[in-house]
Chains A and B, each alone.
Chain A
Amino acid sequence: MYVAVKGGERAIDAADQWVRSRRRGNRTLAELSVAQIQEQLHLSVARVMAEGALYDPQLAALAIKQAAGDLVEAAFLLRAYRTTLPRLTDSLPVDTGRMRIERRISATFKEVPGGQILGPTTDYGQRLLDFSLLGEEESPDANPEAPQDAQPGARSSVKRSTVATSAPLRVTELMGRDGLLESEQAAPGDPQPADLTREPLRFPAARPLRLQALARGDEGYLLGLGYSTQRGYAHTHPFVGELRVGQVEVSVIAPELGFPVVLGEIELTECQMINQFAGSDEAPPMFTRGYGLVFGQGERKSIAMALVDRALRAVELGEPETAPAQDQEFVLSHCDNLEASGFVQHLKLPHHVDFQSELELLRRLRADHGTRES
């Protein structure tokens, strides 16, 4: 009786078996390996690491395999695993100024010191389906190594000879020197920022906490919100001051040693957005900033994040708060795709007790309605 809901253990086990079999697909084809996903679907891996809030390409690839390519589900699997890991220590802040650059562009200047480094990008090519990839054989143009002059990246720069031995200075630093751009300064006393993974998000949330929430927020959601700021819902007049992708070192200070030890490198994408100026009686007009930082090569997300970060600074910068992207309770309460996906889909769970209560009331109201009319 009522098998639709009261499936019981056997039905759950059968459903799980079916999922596994679906995931494996046609068994005459080779099984996809986690290493293949990690290497060949690295942009999916990057997104899952960002939204899963855990930098581990292998486990992210495993999650993608297990989720049969559902990236939100994969981020969920990764986050559910992450929650079981003890927090041993905090790393030192990573220095993106010392990034080992793969790609670095500025939209605000034709030429910048250090050059415009295109790196691996599809931005300047045509989105035509490449039918050569249909073949099972290795595609002819897939060189085993990156192009020779792509170390660290193919330069469009005229100063092709000036290979950056050290990381190029950030464009925002160059502008900051002239006072044209607001300086990023820590709050008085440089307090330890709150940690979103250890404390619940409370409002109003300070910028460090907002950035943490945005960094692991859903890419699609931030993209839509960022886009809305470009279409009249909160004007911020943005320019990509600099977008850089590359490897940064992660260091910790081991208590028994007392000096920083490098644990390894992680890939990051950083977007420094330069926005319309604000001035006041105390300060002359200057450009303001929006900031985006995500794991892996995540350019779309980091740009969208920078747009939304800037929009959320409306109150601080004395701008009228009129658009959804400026409302921090609206933006931050709904940006986590684990929370959103879970709660939207929980409507699939049985609700017959609540529904029964509504039925009972509706019948009573309809009965009352009948007596009133007669």
Chain B
Amino acid sequence: MSDAEFNFAYLDEQTKRMIRRSILKAVAIPGYQVPFASREMPLPYGWGTGGLQVTCALVGPDDVLKVIDQGADDTTNAVNIRRFIARTTGVQTTTHTTKATLIQTRHRIPETPLKAGQIMVFQVPQPEPMFRLEPRETERRRMHAMADYGLMQVRLYEDIARHGHVATTYDYPVMVEDRYLMSPSPIPKFDVPKLDQSPALMLFGAGREKRIHALPPYTRVEPLDFDDYPFERQRWESACALCGSRESFLDEMIMDDAGTRQFVCSDTDWCGAR
């Protein structure tokens, strides 16, 4: 790809405007899934085309970009997306959460607290929290319109009855400002509390499903739970083998054929800074 043959940030300006309009609507109605005319991107569907379109629509020459996948800046998909945006825009990139103005992510929210003015862009495989319960979009639209979320409460109840726990560990359903049930994308349960009252703007792009949803700064986001079974974060018995952190999400690694395990921070920037 020779960069001169493509527009700044790949998409043409009309497409960017269309995506920005959808983003504005999503910000105006927190948690509501706004349909948008998702375009094909040079990455396959499932690789983050929704997040990438949101990023391409927003990125400007002065932005500083960070891209993570599974918390890490150096996973192959993160490297690939960061290179793509850098190549088509020439913007500065960083691995430091504090220096980034725009952070595209797959499956994690950084451990370092976000600041006002930062934008998080999530890659979303399935924006609809109820798709396993009701496969028909026509029916689900009605349920969202009526705020009829009993089905999801029943599912959580059945988990507790069967397992003694809610058996959802990632992509945990949340209520936004007591109105819309929303998928936070497949971030671990551990990250869900970071969404509530976040000073940063959170944007969620689903390319294949052609939806954008958003959380404006300082939005109330509550995980669905019960009074007697309150929402719980994941906990680890171990600390990070590299930095000793006990407050971050830890990845488990098998070190040898004997099955020796080691735990390290999923967030490489957080781990490296300590």
Contact = CB atoms under 8 A, between A and B. Distances in A.
B74 interface: yes
A360 to B, nearest CB: 5
Contact of A84 (B7, B69, B235): B7
Given A200-B35, A350-B70, A356-B188, A342 B46 contact: yes
Interface in B32-54: 35-42, 44-47, 49
A353 B108 contact: yes
Interface string B2-34: 000011001110110000000000000000000
A133 to B, nearest CB: 35
A361 B252 contact: no
Contacts of B49: 342
Interface string B52-91: 0000000000000000011110111101100100000000
A264 to B, nearest CB: 23
A1 B12 CA distance: 40
Interface string A321-343: 00000000100000000110111
Interface residues of B, number: 63
Contact of B71 (A76, A345, A353, A359): A353
B20 to A, nearest CB: 16
A83 B11 CA distance: 8
Interface stretch (A201-209, A248-256, A265-273): A201-209
Contact of B45 (A83, A86, A200, A338): A338
A351 B186 CA distance: 10
A203 B187 CA distance: 29
A27 interface: no
A203 B65 CA distance: 36
A203 B137 contact: yes
Contacts of A360: 169, 234-236
Interface stretch (B94-102, B111-119, B160-168): B160-168
A364 B210 CA distance: 37
Contacts of A198: 37
A84 B188 contact: no
Q: Is the interface of A mostly helix, strand, loop or mixed?
A: helix
A76 B46 CA distance: 13
Contact of B188 (A6, A353, A368): A353
Contact of A352 (B35, B70, B164, B208): B70
A12 B76 contact: yes
A346 interface: yes
B189 interface: yes
A129 interface: no
B76 A353 contact: no
A2 interface: yes
Interface residues of A, number: 50
Contacts of A83: 11, 15, 39-41
Contacts of A357: 169-170, 188-190, 234
Contacts of A341: 44-45
Interface string A194-233: 0001111111100000000000000000000000000000
A72 to B, nearest CB: 10
Contacts of B208: 339, 342-343
Given A200-B211, A351-B107, A356-B188, 12 more contacts: A9-B83, A84-B11, A198-B37, A200-B38, A204-B138, A329-B138, A346-B47, A349-B77, A356-B249, A356-B266, A360-B169, A360-B236
18 contacts: A5-B75, A6-B74, A9-B79, A76-B40, A82-B40, A86-B14, A198-B37, A199-B35, A329-B138, A339-B208, A341-B44, A350-B75, A353-B70, A354-B169, A356-B266, A361-B167, A361-B234, A365-B165
Interface of B: 6-7, 10-12, 14-15, 35-42, 44-47, 49, 69-72, 74-77, 79-80, 83, 106-108, 125, 135-138, 163-165, 167, 169-171, 186-190, 208, 210-211, 234-236, 249-253, 266
Closest 3 CB pairs of A and B: A346-B46, A342-B45, A342-B44
Interface of A: 1-2, 5-9, 11-12, 76, 79-80, 82-87, 197-204, 329, 338-339, 341-346, 349-354, 356-361, 364-365, 368
